[in-house]
Structure 1
Amino acid sequence: MFKIKVKAMYFLMFALILLYACKSKTAEDIGKKIDTVSSKIGKEIDTLATNIAGKSDSTFDKVKVMEMDTTGKAPDKVRSRLNGVFSDYIDIKNALHDNDSSKAVNEANQLIASLDAVSDTSFTDKMRSGWKGSNTKIRKSATDITTAKTLDAQRKAFSQLSDAMISMIKTYGLNGRTVYVMQCPDTKAGYKSVWLESSKDNDNPYAGGKASDAKDDKSANCGEVKEAWKFN
């Protein structure tokens, strides 16, 4: 959405420059007109960027970040490995936001590899039993992303992956990470459009970042922060 508005601004600037150039009689006049128009349009673009950034920040500022007690969570070593799983999840989210199906497959395979790096020998007996279930759900959803034939099918699998990741993070924790639980209430896709962010980015993976590929501009930028967790 932002890129489209900026392109429109540049097109307008070019049109105005041509208009003024046609009315100007000398090269000096043309140069002055170009400088004036460029400066004015540049200020408009800066204002637009500031307004959009402000709206994005306000989305996140409405929700208080909860300091998560890691007592009873997984040991530090395990939570550090889970950071890798979470980072791979974010990469999948970004790929879907960019409508990049091939990259989503690559990142899902990387997430599966990161899961393999999490050794359950560091878990307590009680945690180890629960981890097997979490591991299975996350692995299945990631595998479904790699075998899906369409972006929509990948996004459906990603919705299931997001649910599994939320459960995993709440149960075992992360190490030094902040997590934002996002949701778009306007989805018409037929599945729950919940996802996680690692920073103040409202990149809806269910609509895609390109407005031309999304159902509408509203869905492309749709996202509310439901919860925010900070792990030390």
Structure 2
Amino acid sequence: MKKQITIGPAVLRRRRELGWSMQRLCDETGGAIYTGYLSDIEKENSNPSVDKAYAIAAAFGTSIDKLIEESISPNAALAPSEHARRVPVVPWELASEWAQNPDISRLPSGTPWEVPLDSQATRGFFLLVRDESMHAPAGPAFPSGALIFVDPGQEARVNDFVVGYTSDPTAPTFKKFVQDGSQSYLRALNPQFPVTQIDGNFRTIGVVIGMVMKTSRGIIR
């Protein structure tokens, strides 16, 4: 009888080498799995569905194929760079939902995953900048095509760069949060875009704490 393919041994080995508890790995998957289910996987009592296996592989910064290969050949060396945790580049319309409930099954097929800028931001994620509203002629700038790293765990303060919405959670905006007296505003860094006054109905999804840009032939990819 043909042996069933499993990723359990590789998952157990990687988790132990990283010094992660079962709960830590579950957290790194964005809540895609729970500890009882993970225990069954590691003991080879259960094989995860493709989306769960993908979440586990992404948490380790590797691929499902690599985990299968390591389970078949347990003496295979691990690449140190693969220990880096990765987080998804979330579609803008899912940013609010992901910040509250990081359900990997809701992500579109082919969603990119990147190494986060802050390992302590357990629910952090990337967004792809879509316009030039935050591209300033001088000083801090977030050009179209760059990836901004959003930390939903940080409380927004004056002068923070924030992602949030007023009425439609599927249509968030990215701006600088400023105040003038008792009034609060969202300000674009590009002076060609208007300043927007906000009130208590504005909901912050997260604070932008960094940016990643990949370039090729002078173009941001």
Shorter-chain TM-score bucket reads under 0.3
Higher helix share: 1
Higher strand share: 2
- Bigger Rg over Cα: 1
TM-score by length of 1: 0.23
TM-score by length of 2: 0.24
Higher relative contact order (CA 8 A, sep 6+): 1
